[in-house]
Amino acid sequence: MSTDRAPLFLPPGAFTFVAGGGAGVAQVAAEYPFDTVKTRVQSTALSYRGPVDCIVRTFQREGVRAFYQGVTPRLLTYGVVKSTLFSIYERAHGVCGSTALAGAMAGAVNTLVSCPVEIIKSKLQIYQRLPGKVYDGPLQRAQALIAAHGWGVWYRGLSAQLARDTLGYAILFTVYHTAKQLNVLPVPVCGGMAGVAFYLSTLWIDRAKTILQTQDFAAPQYASMRACLLDVAKREGMVGLYRGCVPTLMKTFVGQAAGLVAYDVISQGVGKSLHHLILVLEAQTPIGVALLRFNTDDVSASLCGWQRLGCVMLALM
């Protein structure tokens, strides 16, 4: 029986989940202040003349902390959101072979995870820290939303987010992978360009999403994305659909550059580290020798890297 080592079968989903989580944290850390300005400018719950007015008035009245309201739940949950997005994308791409279609599928399915995160983030971002006004933290705000509107509150504005993310991620993944394959620009620039392409194509939908998710849920101004878009266009003109364009493009360039680069770096690093660890442990244990000898067998082919690592660790105990 041959003892030649066949390549380890390590499921891409395992690496994708870890790398996606790291990408989510990196993206939030890089883009959050820009995202707060973007949300406040786009929302009809607050009134600012533009991004500069928003920054100046927010800083003068509420201080630096206001730009980071809602960042804690965002950091705690966005890793899961991104892990889910990249996992669905990798799986879909393996099935259909199309970057655009896989991106669209990932964006659409991922809204089931991302919509609740967007609701709590947006509500906290528009909360104004004014004198005499008590700041509701993430848990208090979440409890209040559920008590007042039920569990369905977490999917307000879902239609707009579904439309935005289905179109946006189809374009984002296509631009990113195409730019990388050209091998002309640095990877962070490719990521930034992909993020800009996402919002240039979907900013008008994103405006409706922000309004729908930040309006007063007890007495909503709009019941649907269509009604919101038509009214905004009527009152503010077509330019109103692109309100908040500058902070949005700034936040997405910085955020996607950080997130996509982190994803590539972490996915490659985790894969190499786990592969090396398994090889070292397998070489030191009887069960490791057995696994190596069975590499050419159909039974061993079904053992993924994580399962094999578990077997080796049990053998060491």
What is this structure's pTM?
Answer: 0.77
Residue 217 falls inside a structural domain = yes
Structural domain including 51 reads 12-266
Count the domains in the chain: 1
Give tens-digit pLDDT for 138-150: 888 899 999 999 9
Number of H helices, E strands in the chain: 12, 0
Residue 244 falls inside a structural domain = yes
pLDDT of residue 8: 42
Q: What one-letter code names the amino acid at 156?
A: R
pLDDT of residue 315: 42
Residue 304 falls inside a structural domain = no
What CA–CA distance (Å, rounded) separates 83 from 270?
14
Domain CATH for 235: 1.50.40.10
Residue 220 falls inside a structural domain = yes
Residue 302 falls inside a structural domain = no
- Residue closest to 274 by CA, chosen among 314, 312, 302, 301: 312
Which ranges in 97-186 belong to alpha helices (H)? Answer: 99-125, 138-149, 158-182
Give tens-digit pLDDT for 2-26: 444 444 444 545 667 777 778 888 8
Residue 3 falls inside a structural domain = no
Residue 314 falls inside a structural domain = no
* Dihedral sign, Cα of residue 293, residue 298, residue 300, residue 305: positive
Helix 12-42 with 71-96: angle, nearest 10 deg: 130
Residue 298 falls inside a structural domain = no
